[in-house]
Amino acid sequence: MPCPRASTPSGFDPAPGNSWVHGAFHDRVHYVGPTGWQGSGSEMGVSVMLRRHFGPVCAAASVLVLCASVLSPGVASAGKPDIPAPPGLPSFYSVPQPLPKGPVGTLIKSEVVPDANLVGATMHIVMYKSKGPKKAVPVTGMVAIPNGTPPAGGWPVVTWGHGTNGMADVCAPSLQGASQVPGINNLIAAGYAVTASDYQGEGTPGLMPYVVGASAAEDTVMIVKAAHSLPGVSLSPNYVVWGHSEGGQTAMFSIYDHKYAPKLNLRGVVAGAPPSQFSLLYDFLVTSPFDYYLMMVAGSYNSYYGSTKAPLSAIMTPQAVSLIPQLDNGCSSYVQGVVNAAVATTPHMLFSDLIPKNPFTVASWAKLFSANDPAAFTKKTKTPLLIIQGGNDEQIPVISTQILQGQLCKIGQPVERWVYSGQSHAGVIAPSFDDMVHWIGDRFASTSTVDPYVPTADSSNTITIDQKTCG
């Protein structure tokens, strides 16, 4: 669906010829480019995706090193054909068979690509190994490395966890590049390398594990490890995780140790509008404009955990089950359209008629929801945690993050929470951005678990910030 235009947020610096827009049903911040294209995933069409990777600079890819894929040592596909790239995606997204030896975080291949929206940095798309439900799986993503001489010890890293954009291959943020990471040029200008995972299943085989916290967290951390293997790149072991909405849940789950990355040093976590209190999820979503999220969660859990642990027939009708394959055919607005069309086929039908059973009342489903709910954390860490949310969030109830902070404070987890008055779910990103970057800078400069910094929303006269800290 078309995205409403918005003014350029204060403190952001879009590339010349671009303007900022917010997708009404997406957690990402998009660009409207000089040629007028906008949207995401299947909405943008294959022609845009191909232009992203095969633009004028890559027209002579056969003779330009810039556009050549680099296979990492150990990649061997002799005797076994690669898994082809998903339909409409560039050949980079083909998966070597077998995967290279080595633990998760191993870089499989990389490619330097031109990106008109990236300023002062070089963009790499990467494929690397991460942890799947049963074995290592390939995952794609982006790595932006500042141009120039890195500081002693290498560039510190901010790794981004993207929000809800769908679950299909065409939704992979790396297909659209730098525009999919809010404020990426400001992070580059601040002296940070930026990594951004697509999450497994977007751009690679399988359905993306939507709201499976540990899976997305592993993908978001392992791309940092993989980035250290890029040729000629110098990165610090120090990194901060930042994510919003679905990516906020990703960030929450990243606070725990990652045994496959013992040489990396997590300095802090920023969770924007993280979903929690999953026992209330069904009642909140089933009558909201975001009811189709329940369809996405159901399909995700069934795909990731299997039909024994996540039986679809226990919570939804056969008609709803028949819609699940559509999750792999398009991005969020496509899924919303499929669900709305299904509801419209029968007079007086409601979404609750498709999924009549609250998953939290079914023992096997309740167990999975609890396992992916940050509210269920029982182990404290020393990692500083910042939760940011808009006071008028239309997708995640503000009370839920208030409850979440209280639950985390009780277990001794250091956590700060900033709520920006009047701001929507995605709209809070812009006015909180400079405050967040200040907080991130303090994490790299200090080992303190509590930051005395007082956020200002760029000295706004119209926004007040409710700030609470424990730990």
216 and 160 assigned to the same domain:
yes
Of 354, 371, 388, which marks where a domain is finished?
371
350 and 464 assigned to the same domain:
no
337 and 466 assigned to the same domain:
no
- Which pLDDT band, with edges at 50, 70 and 90, does 228 fall under? very high
Q: Does the residue 339 lie in any domain? A: yes
User: Residue 80: its pLDDT value, please?
Assistant: 86
Average the pLDDT over 117-146 and give the result: 97
Instruction: Report phi then psi at 266, rounded to 5.
Output: -75, 120
Q: What is the pLDDT of residues 148-179, one digit of tens each?
A: 999 999 999 999 999 999 999 999 999 999 99
Mean pLDDT lowest for which of 45-54, 79-88, 213-222, 298-307?
Answer: 45-54
227 and 258 assigned to the same domain:
yes
129 and 248 assigned to the same domain:
yes
Of 346, 371, 396, which marks where a domain is finished?
371
Average the pLDDT over 75-88 and give the result: 80
| pLDDT > 90? residue 368 | yes
Q: Does the residue 361 lie in any domain? A: yes
Number of Cβ within a 10 Å radius of residue 178: 23
Q: How many residues does the chain have?
A: 471
Of 350, 371, 392, which marks where a domain is finished?
371
The strand pair at 19-22 and 29-32 is best described as antiparallel
**Which structure tokens are listed for 451?**
């930051």
User: Residue 75: its pLDDT value, please?
Assistant: 52
| pLDDT > 50? residue 27 | no
340 and 263 assigned to the same domain:
no
Categorise residue 178: left if φ over 0, alpha if ψ from -120 to 50, beta otherwise. Answer: alpha
Distance in angstroms (rounded) separating the CA atoms of residues 439 and 129: 30
User: Residue 449: its pLDDT value, please?
Assistant: 86
Beta bridge partners of 243: 161, 271
367 and 378 assigned to the same domain:
no
Write the CATH number for 122.
3.40.50.1820
Q: What is the pLDDT of residues 82-93, one digit of tens each?
A: 999 999 999 999
396 and 361 assigned to the same domain:
no
| pLDDT > 80? residue 52 | no
Domain with 151 in it? 103-277+373-471
Contact 195, 160 (CB under 8 A): yes
Q: What is the pLDDT of residues 322-360, one digit of tens each?
A: 999 999 999 999 999 999 999 999 999 999 999 999 999
**Which structure tokens are listed for 17?**
């010829």
Contact 91, 67 (CB under 8 A): no
| pLDDT > 60? residue 242 | yes
Angle CA 138–154–101, to nearest 5 = 25
Q: Does the residue 298 lie in any domain? A: yes
Q: Residue for token digits 């700030």? A: 467
Q: Does the residue 467 lie in any domain? A: yes
User: Residue 25: its pLDDT value, please?
Assistant: 29
327 and 194 assigned to the same domain:
no
| pLDDT > 80? residue 37 | no
Contact 353, 315 (CB under 8 A): no
User: Residue 257: its pLDDT value, please?
Assistant: 75
- Which pLDDT band, with edges at 50, 70 and 90, does 258 fall under? confident
| DSSP per-residue string spanning 51-77 | HHHSSGGGTTTTT-GGG-EEEPTT---
Q: Does the residue 87 lie in any domain? A: no
**By percentage, how much of the chain surpasses pLDDT 70?**
83
Q: Tell which wins on pLDDT, 40 or 459.
A: 459
Number of Cβ within a 10 Å radius of residue 172: 31
377 and 366 assigned to the same domain:
no
133 and 239 assigned to the same domain:
yes
Please give the tally of structural domains in the chain.
Answer: 2
231 and 126 assigned to the same domain:
yes
| DSSP E strand boundaries for 48-192 | 69-71, 107-113, 121-131, 136-146, 155-161
